[in-house]
Structure 1
C-alpha cells in the first residue's frame, strides 16, 4: 500500500487535478493507494477571511463566499464530468451549510475556535469530494473516506492533539475491509472524542498523511507539492538552488522549521520512530527525482545540507546589570511569553548573563513588549533592568547539516562570508549538536545573504561579481565590450560570473539584478530612466547584490565625491577618475580607511598608467617591505604622443588636434598640456609609497605660453597655439640642437615631487620612448642602482578599459 499527499497547489486547478488523477491511476495499477488532499490552493485563507468579515459585521463576507463558490464550480465545470448533477447538488448543499454557518457568525458577532474549525474544514471536504467523484466518473476504482470518521482528537480546537491509539485502530480496521484501489482522504480535518469537528493545525494535511502512513506501516510516504523536493535554499531567491536528493529526518525538520515550506516539522513525527522514508515529489514534474527523507543518508561532499530562513522576525532583548547572578529571570521571561501563547523561534544568551535575546514572529512583537514590561515592571522601576528592546524587520537565516559538527570552520566561513558583503548579524544561535547555525539579519539583506552563502557552500567556487558602470563613453563602451567578449572565459577559467547590473551615461541609466543583456545594451540604455548620480547610487545600494562593484569611467568630481558613500555600503570602487586619489590627503586617506573598514576594494590602477600595472607593482614592493627612494617617470601618453610627433616640419596646433582626434587627450586638452594631469599621477604614486602630500606641494614647470595658461576656453586655447607657434618651435629647436628628445617628466625624490618638460639626452631610458608609451622607473632599497622599469602604452581607450577590467578581475580573484 502507498500513501500519497497532494498539497493545495497540486489540486488548485482542473489542470492540476487531472495530473493528480493520472498519478493516482498509474499507482493504482500495482498497489492500493491512500491519497490525502489539501483544500484547493488559497481556499483555507479565504474561508478564514469570510469568518473574520462575518464576525466584524462586514457584508463583504458574502462576496468572498461567492468567490469560493466560483472557484469550486469553475473547477467542476472544467473537469468535464458529463452527468455531474449529483456532484453539483452535493457541493451546493455544502455551500448552503457553509452559508448558514457564516450567517450565524454574522448574527452573533462571534467566531470561536470551535466554529473556526468547522468553517475551515469545508476546504478539504470539498476538494476530496470533487477529486473522488471525478475519478469514479471516469471509471476508476476510488472512494472518498471522511478523515473525521477515523482521526480522533481531543477538543483543543485549531490545533487538536491526536489520540493515536484510537486513531490507529480506526485506520487499520477501515483499510482491512476497503475494496477500492484508491482511497481519497481530506487532510487537516478530524473529530474530537465528543464528536466535534476539529483540525490538526498548520501543516495538518501533511500530518494526516503521516498518521495514516504510520498506522498502516507503509514502506514510504510521498508528499506531492509544486516543487521538485527540498532545495538547498529558496529557489525563488537563489536561481542556482537545486533539489537535495537525500536528507535525514533531523535535517528536514531543521530546514522545515526555518522556512522550507514543502514540509511542516510535526509531519515527520508519526513516521520518525518507524523509520518510514518520506519522498517529496513534484506534481507538475512527476518524473523528477525529488527528495527522500530517511535515516539512510549518504554523506555529501559538503557538510551543509541546506540554507533556510524565516522572515518577519522581531528580536526581543531583555538586559540589565541587575540580571547578573540572579536566578529566575529566564524562567519569568519564558513563562510570560507562554501565558501569551507566543512561540519563541530562537534563543541566545551571553555567558555574562547581562542579556537574553529572543526571536519571535513580528506580528506578536507589540503584545510581547507590553506583557514583558508589565511582568518586570518592578525591576524596570528600580532600574535593575531596561525596558524590553524590540527590533523588527528582521529575518533568521540558518545553515543546516548533520555532519557540520565533524567539519572545522563552518561557522567561521559563514560569518566571514556575510561580513564581506556588509551583512550585519544581530544575534547568533548554535546548538551543541551543531546541526544548525542561525543568525538574525535585516530582512532587506536576506536575498543577498542566501545567494552569498549558497555560492560559498554549494556552488563550484564560482564567484559572482555585480558591476555598475557610470560613464559609458569612449572608454566605458570598450570596457562593456571587453566584458561581453570575455564573460564565458572568466566563468570557465577563472570561476568568475561577471554581470553588468547597472549602466549609466550622462542622460540615461538602466539596472537589472539578473544582469543586463550586453548584446543590445545600447538600445536598452537609450530607453532607460533619466540619469542622476544620486539615483544611480540609490539603485545600486537598494539592489543590495553580493560582490557589488561601482566602476567610475568619468573625469567628474561629483562622481568622485560619492566614492565614500559606495564604500560605506560595502560596494567596491574601481576608478580611472583621478580626482578622488589626488584630492586633499584627508579625503584620500578616508577612502582608504573606508575600504578597509567595510571590506570594500578600492582600486584605481588606471589613474596612473592606463593598463600598465604601475600601482599594483608599487603596492607589492611596499607590502614586501621595500622602500621607495625615488621615482622618475613619463606618465602622460598624450604629452608623449604630442612631443614624439612635433617637429620643425609640423605645427604644434596640428599635433595637439591630432592627439585629441585619436583619443589621447581629454576633450579639454589644457588638462593634459598644463601638466596638472601628470602632477596628479606623481602625487598618487608618492602617496602610495607612503608619503603625505597634496597637489599644491608639487612643483609644476609648465611649457605652455603665458597666453595659453590664461586662456578662458578650449577655443581660445587653440587660438593661442596658433599664435604662439614660435614659442613651441623654440622648445623643439633647443632640444634638437642638444641632440635631445622632449619628454614631460615627473619626478619624486626625498619627499619632493615635480613635473616639467625636459630635454632627454641620447642613451637615457626615456630617449626612445615612442608613440603614447609611458615609462616608470622605481629606485628602491632593493633596486638602488638599476631601477625596476615598467614600460608600455599609457593612453588610449582600449588599454584604459583593459586596466579597469584587470582591477575588476583582481577583485574577483580575492
Structure 2
C-alpha cells in the first residue's frame, strides 16, 4: 500500500470494502501469506478485514470442550498452543513473535482455568479464542509487511439479542464500532463472536464469520463485501456432487438468500440478512471469491438486471422431518375468520421457520433437530401430529414459482422420484419438491441437467462500428431470435477506437448504435482489460471488426483471460511467426477459441473447408486463387477500352478500393491472406516466405496519396502493354496467389500478376468475386473450388455471424473445471 493510497484525513476513514477470510484461507503459514498478498493488492487503509479462526482451530476448541479426562485436556491444550506457536514463529519476525507469544501463554492459562472450573459459564468465551488468535496474528503480520493495523475484538462493539435469533442492535453496535476504528490503521476484526445486552459472549453459529462481515458492512455503510473462501464462487449445484455445476456469476439478493436457506454449501441465509434490509439506505454488493486463486472472478450478489435474473440452480437438503397435522390445515375461510387452526399454523411458521409449508395440505418441513421442540410445542397446544422423515430438492431462481415453464420442467424432471408434495416458497424464488427418500446423487444430477442445460450465458463485445460493424449489429436481433445456439448470448459491449459502452446487464440490440452514441465513454486498453478480467459471464466473445493492428495486439491478453475472439482483422493471423505461434499456444492453453473466417474471402467458407480437410485426414498440396475483391473487379473490368488509371479512379469513387488504392495494388493484402490460409492448412510460413509483386512502380510508392492520384496515369502504359501481350495469346491478366508443396515438402508461395488462358477457372469471374482452388491427396485431378463474393457489407457481416454461431455451438459442450480446496 503506497503513501498515496493512505487516507489523508479522518473523512477518508469510511469503509468502502469489507474483506472476510475463512478458516481454510488462513489454515497455515502459506495460506496466510497468500491472504497478505490479497490484502496488498485489493485493500485500502479505509477497508476492513474480518477473519475466521485459523484452519480447524474452532473444531479443536469444540473437541476440547468435550474432553472429560484431565490428561486428555492437557494434551489437547498443549497441541493447540503448539499449532499457534508454529504459525507465529513461521510468519513473524523476532520482535513481533516476542509480543504475541506471552499473550498466547496467558490465553492458554485462562483456557485451562475455565475448562477446569466453569466450563458451562464460559463455553462461548472458550470458543472465541480461535478468532482472537487469528485476528491478532494477521494484524501483527500486516504491521510488519503492509501497513499499520490493529486487531479488534467484535465483542467490544457488536451486540445481538441472543444466539438463537442473532438480531443486531444496529444503533448501539454502530456507535460502539466507530470508537474502535483507529485512523491510519487497517482494522482486522474477529468474526463469529459478539455479545448480548448483558455483556455475555455469544457466537453467531458455524460459518458465522460470513454473517459478521455483512453485519460490519451494514454498520459502516460499505459498498462491497468479499468473502474470500476456498471455492471460486457460488455454483448451480454443489460441485462436489454435481461435476457439471456451473458458476453463477451474479445472483440477485433474494435468490442468494433463498439458496442459503435451502442448503447451498457456501452461502448461508444469515449472511445476507444485513444486505437485504430494506430499512438501510445504502446498497451493498456481496462477492464470493477464492483466496487460492484470487485472479479468477467469483460470484457477485446484489441488485442486477434481467440477465442475472435468468439464472437457475438446484439445491437439496436431507435429514428433514415433515410434520403433518389436521390442525395445520387452514383454508381461506379459516384465515379470514381468524380461526385457531389458521393462527396455529401461522404461529408454527413464526416459531420454527420451516424449510417449506403448505396450509392447505396441513404440513411443515423442518430440520430433524427441531423435531423434539416442535413435538413439545404442539403437545402444549393439545395437537396431534404425524412425523415423516423426508428430504427436499429445489429449483431456485428469480420468481421461478411464477414461471409456468420452469415449474413444468421441474415437475417432469422429478417424475421417477414421485415427490410427496410440490410447493412454492413464499418469496416465489424457489419451487420445492418434498421427497419420501433422501435425495440421491443420481437424482440431483438428473434434475440439475434438466433445469440448467440451456442456461449458459455468453457475453458479446463488438469492436469496430464502421460499415461492416453496423451491418453486423443490424442483423443481430433477428439472429438472436431464430438461432437456437445464440439463445443465451447477450450484447454487453460496444467499442470504437476511442469510446466504449459496457453494460453487464446487457445492451438492447435493437437500439445498440443509438445507445452507443448517447452513453459511450472514453476508455483505454487498461480499463478495457480490467473489465474483461472480471466479466460476469460463463464465456465472453470479442468480435474484432476493426482494421487496427493495435487492437490485434490485445489478442494475447484476451486469450490469457480465456476470452474467445472472432476476427475479421487480418493483423494477428498474419503476424510474425513467433507472435502467431504464441497466440495459438496461449489460446489452446486457456481453452480460448479463435475464428477468423472473414479474414479471407469475406463470408466464403474457405477457412472451414481447409480446416475440415485437415481434421479429416487429408493433406493439402496446393492453394491458389484470386483473393482480392478489388483486384478481381479491376482486372475483370479492364479490357483496354478505358485507361487503367480511369478505371482505378472510378473504383475509388465507388468505394471498391481502399482510400489509398496503392494498398490494393501493392499485393500486401493478398500476401497476408495467402499466409493466413497457409497457416490454416498447417504450414509454418512468414510473410517473407511469400514473394509479392507490387503493381505500383517504385517511383510512385513513397509519395503522398494526393501526389499519387495526380500521377496515377503513369500506370497506364504498364497495364496496357501487359494486356496487349496477353490478348496476343488469347489470354488475360489476373492477380493470383499461389502456394505449392512439392514431393519433398518444399513450399513455393507467391502473389503476382499472371497471364492466364481465357479457359482458366480464374479467368471468368463476376467482378469482385474471389475464387479459391485447393489441391490435396483427395482432390488431385479435380481440385476443390470455392467461388463467390469476396467483399461486401452483407457477405462480410454474414460471415461474422457464421463464426458467431459456430463458436456458440462449440461452447455449448464446453465444461469448466471447478476448483475446490474443500468446502467447509
TM-score by length of 2: 0.51
What CA deviation, in whole Å up to 9, does each residue of 1:323-349 have, x standing for no partner?
A: xxxxxxxxxxxxxxxxxxxxxxxxxxx
Q: What is the aligned partner in structure 2 of residue 49 from structure 1? A: 170
User: What displacement does 1:791 show?
Assistant: 0.9
User: What displacement does 1:710 show?
Assistant: 2.4
Q: Distance in 2 between matches of 1:700 and 1:209?
A: 87
What CA deviation, in whole Å up to 9, does each residue of 1:586-624 have, x standing for no partner?
A: 222222222222111111111111111111111111112
Question: Residue 232 of structure 1: SS of its match in structure 2?
Answer: strand
What CA deviation, in whole Å up to 9, does each residue of 1:723-759 have, x standing for no partner?
A: 4433333333333343322211001113121001112
> Are the counterparts in 1 of residues 401 and 424 from structure 2 also a CA contact under 8 Å?
no
User: What displacement does 1:503 show?
Assistant: 1.1
Residues 485, 58 of structure 1: alpha-carbon distance in 2 compared, 3 angstrom cutoff: same
> Are the counterparts in 1 of residues 626 and 736 from structure 2 also a CA contact under 8 Å?
yes
Residues 544, 462 of structure 1: alpha-carbon distance in 2 compared, 3 angstrom cutoff: closer
Residues 185, 464 of structure 1: alpha-carbon distance in 2 compared, 3 angstrom cutoff: closer
1:402 paired to 2:440: yes
Q: Distance in 2 between matches of 1:292 and 1:587?
A: 55
User: What displacement does 1:292 show?
Assistant: 4.1
Q: Distance in 2 between matches of 1:558 and 1:214?
A: 77
1:575 paired to 2:564: no
Question: Residue 551 of structure 1: SS of its match in structure 2?
Answer: strand
RMSD in angstroms over aligned alpha carbons? 4.8
TM-score by length of 1: 0.52
Q: Distance in 2 between matches of 1:692 and 1:536?
A: 32
Q: What is the aligned partner in structure 1 of residue 765 from structure 2? A: 769
> Are the counterparts in 2 of residues 634 and 775 from structure 1 also a CA contact under 8 Å?
yes
Q: Distance in 2 between matches of 1:51 and 1:206?
A: 36
User: What displacement does 1:50 show?
Assistant: 4.5
Q: What is the aligned partner in structure 2 of residue 552 from structure 1? A: 544
User: What displacement does 1:44 show?
Assistant: 6.5
Q: Distance in 2 between matches of 1:791 and 1:651?
A: 28
User: What displacement does 1:208 show?
Assistant: 7.0
Q: Distance in 2 between matches of 1:44 and 1:756?
A: 83
Q: Distance in 1 between matches of 2:491 and 2:425?
A: 34
What CA deviation, in whole Å up to 9, does each residue of 1:625-657 have, x standing for no partner?
A: 211222221111111112222332334344334
What CA deviation, in whole Å up to 9, does each residue of 1:647-695 have, x standing for no partner?
A: 3233434433443444433333322210000001111122222222110
Residues 578, 247 of structure 1: alpha-carbon distance in 2 compared, 3 angstrom cutoff: closer
What CA deviation, in whole Å up to 9, does each residue of 1:145-178 have, x standing for no partner?
A: xxxxxxxxxxxxx9xxxxxxxxx9xx99xxxxx9
Q: What is the aligned partner in structure 2 of residue 20 from structure 1? A: none
* Of 439, 451, 461, the match for 1:468: 461
1:295 paired to 2:436: yes
Question: Looking at both structures, which has the greater relative contact order when contacts are Cα pairs under 8 Å and sequence separation is at least 6?
Answer: 2
User: What displacement does 1:560 show?
Assistant: 0.9
> Are the counterparts in 1 of residues 739 and 750 from structure 2 also a CA contact under 8 Å?
yes
Q: Distance in 2 between matches of 1:553 and 1:237?
A: 39
What CA deviation, in whole Å up to 9, does each residue of 1:45-65 have, x standing for no partner?
A: 7643345458779799xxxxx
1:602 paired to 2:594: yes
1:811 paired to 2:807: yes
* Of 631, 651, 656, the match for 1:659: 651
Residues 55, 208 of structure 1: alpha-carbon distance in 2 compared, 3 angstrom cutoff: farther
Question: Residue 767 of structure 1: SS of its match in structure 2?
Answer: coil
Residues 623, 565 of structure 1: alpha-carbon distance in 2 compared, 3 angstrom cutoff: same
The count of corresponding residues between Structure 1 and Structure 2 is: 482
Q: Distance in 2 between matches of 1:764 and 1:276?
A: 72
Q: Distance in 2 between matches of 1:622 and 1:238?
A: 50
User: What displacement does 1:698 show?
Assistant: 1.1
Q: What is the aligned partner in structure 2 of residue 679 from structure 1? A: 671
Q: Distance in 1 between matches of 2:540 and 2:710?
A: 46
Question: Residue 483 of structure 2: SS of its match in structure 1?
Answer: helix
* Of 728, 734, 737, the match for 2:725: 734
> Are the counterparts in 2 of residues 652 and 721 from structure 1 also a CA contact under 8 Å?
no
The answer for unaligned runs of 5 or more in structure 1 is 1-38, 61-101, 117-157, 159-167, 173-177, 191-200, 222-228, 253-274, 298-400, 411-452
The structure with more radius of gyration: 1
Q: Distance in 1 between matches of 2:402 and 2:793?
A: 35
Q: What is the aligned partner in structure 1 of residue 499 from structure 2? A: 508
User: What displacement does 1:402 show?
Assistant: 1.8
Question: Residue 493 of structure 2: SS of its match in structure 1?
Answer: strand
Q: What is the aligned partner in structure 1 of residue 637 from structure 2? A: 645
1:795 paired to 2:786: no
Q: What is the aligned partner in structure 2 of residue 482 from structure 1? A: 475
Q: Distance in 1 between matches of 2:410 and 2:720?
A: 79
Question: Residue 543 of structure 1: SS of its match in structure 2?
Answer: coil
Q: Distance in 1 between matches of 2:204 and 2:570?
A: 72
User: What displacement does 1:499 show?
Assistant: 2.2
Question: Residue 459 of structure 2: SS of its match in structure 1?
Answer: strand
Question: Residue 582 of structure 1: SS of its match in structure 2?
Answer: coil
Q: What is the aligned partner in structure 2 of residue 138 from structure 1? A: none
